[in-house]
Amino acid sequence: MNQEIVSRLQAAIECSVFLNPTEPGLTYDELLEVGSRAGFLAGEVGDAAPYAGARHLKMILPSDHILTSWKIIFYEEPEYRNFDAFDFVISELNARVRSDGAKHAQLDRSVVVERALAKALRRHDIEAAITYQVMSGVLTENGGVLRFFNNGGVRALPSEQRQFLAGGRPMPKPDRARVYDIVRDVIERRIDARPAHIESLDAFAEELDALGYGVFRLWWKQTVAELRRGDAHSAPVSVSVLAAALVEGALTFVVKHARKLSLSVFRSRDFDGDPKTWKLDNLVASASSGGADAILDLPTKNRAELLIRTRQRIHAGRMLSEFPTGVPDIRPEEARDAKATAEQVVRRVLDWLHKFPPTTRSD
């Protein structure tokens, strides 16, 4: 079993707890989508999925092994936990232990949440703190009533445990960072009006007619097919170049639509002339500007810019200028990130088209 894929899927399930604490977990189909959008092939994702978590009814939740590791509080990078919220939950139950004794100490979850809100903590953060500590076995929840596990007594605050165990040094969680935005998008699609569980690269082909570029459907589909067949281990450069081509294509195909609507993106004079003069760097920069009209958010812009730098190795002149002592190899994980970046950028373009749909075929 490919442990790298399992680890990436495990991180995705963990992220679901941080992102949707009142309904944690991912369905099997959502997990497959996350894996595919993270740059892995459908077959290997399907093979790894059963090893990534524990199935509970329709949802896949973190495995017992992962939950056991949650009991030990370290600094993490990136950090998705609000420790003011974690400390608040424990402090509230500690107060009940002192008042009522360990055997009788309990609080309604809803009461803890309302008290936290009164202290200016975010509902999402306090819900995440409760769910995380229930799932890790620090707390138990029965009928909405919270208790310390095994009727335990006063406990140290999580922030104190973190400081004592880690000494302030963060534990890197790179897999979480790679899938966090993908999982967020998958979860948001459960409740908004956008299509759920749809491959963005396939979906964009269906938008080309409305944008006036239907004749490029074949080019798009061929490029997508080659990207998916590409092997991140044996052909990382090819994979990265194809991913960048799709990013460039998706942004290029919406320039005329944005300018026709007089939106604040692509208004630069860089896009007045022949499209063959447009540069990917400028497309990404302009797509990230324009306030409410912007196509790319900051995390997606940053990923696109990393992809651009990777893609530049096909230009010998830029390599000589930027890497005079030699170009570093593209690692397989960078190629997989390139695939995931293409998926993410195109999905942002699709979301933007949902917000500003082509009402008629472009002239």
Domain count across the chain:
3
Q: Which of 169, 187, 207 is the last residue of a domain?
A: 169
Whether 256 and 333 map to the same domain: the answer is: yes
Whether 149 and 183 map to the same domain: the answer is: no
Whether 132 and 238 map to the same domain: the answer is: no
Whether 320 and 229 map to the same domain: the answer is: yes
Q: What is the pLDDT of residues 241-256, one digit of tens each?
A: 999 999 999 999 999 9
Distance between CA atoms of residues 15 and 18, nearest Å: 5
Whether 231 has a pLDDT exceeding 90, the answer reads no
Range of the domain at 314: 199-355
Whether 20 and 87 map to the same domain: the answer is: no
Whether 164 and 280 map to the same domain: the answer is: no
Among 99-108, 196-205, 251-260, whose mean pLDDT is lowest? Answer: 196-205
Whether 33 and 180 map to the same domain: the answer is: yes
Indicate the pTM of the whole model: 0.68
Whether 63 and 157 map to the same domain: the answer is: no
Question: Percent of the chain, pLDDT > 90?
Answer: 65
| pLDDT score at 166 | 61
Q: Which tokens sit at 47?
A: 């093979």
The number of angstroms, rounded, from the C-alpha of 190 to the middle of its chain's C-alpha atoms is 15
Distance between CA atoms of residues 91 and 47, nearest Å: 43
Cα distances (Å, whole numbers) of residue 77 to 80, 81, 88, 169: 8, 10, 22, 9
Q: What pLDDT band is residue 361 in, cutting at 50, 70 and 90?
A: very low
Whether 181 and 161 map to the same domain: the answer is: no
Among 29-33, 206-210, 314-318, whose mean pLDDT is lowest? Answer: 314-318
Asked whether residue 286 is domain-assigned, the answer is yes
Q: What is the pLDDT of residues 142-199, one digit of tens each?
A: 999 999 998 888 999 999 988 877 666 788 999 999 999 999 989 988 877 666 656 7
Whether 139 has a pLDDT exceeding 50, the answer reads yes
Distance between CA atoms of residues 242 and 98, nearest Å: 62
Asked whether residue 331 is domain-assigned, the answer is yes
| pLDDT score at 194 | 64
Asked whether residue 88 is domain-assigned, the answer is yes
| pLDDT score at 210 | 92
Provide the CATH number for the domain around residue 96. Answer: 1.10.10.10
Whether 330 has a pLDDT exceeding 90, the answer reads no
Whether 252 and 267 map to the same domain: the answer is: yes
Tell me the average pLDDT of the chain: 89
Whether 39 and 178 map to the same domain: the answer is: yes
Please tell me which of 230-234, 285-289, 356-360 the model is most confident about, judged by mean pLDDT.
285-289
Q: Which of 169, 188, 207 is the last residue of a domain?
A: 169
State the average pLDDT over residues 284-297.
94
| pLDDT score at 89 | 97
Distance between CA atoms of residues 148 and 128, nearest Å: 17
Whether 362 has a pLDDT exceeding 50, the answer reads no
State the average pLDDT over residues 325-347.
85
| pLDDT score at 13 | 97
Cα distances (Å, whole numbers) of residue 219 to 163, 236, 275: 54, 21, 16
Phi, psi of 54 (to 5 degrees): -115, 125
State the average pLDDT over residues 303-309.
90
DSSP, collapsed to helix, strand or coil, labels residue 59 as: strand
Q: What one-character DSSP code corresponds to residue 78? A: S
Whether 152 and 46 map to the same domain: the answer is: no
Q: Which of 181, 197, 213 is the last residue of a domain?
A: 197
Asked whether residue 126 is domain-assigned, the answer is yes
| pLDDT score at 182 | 92
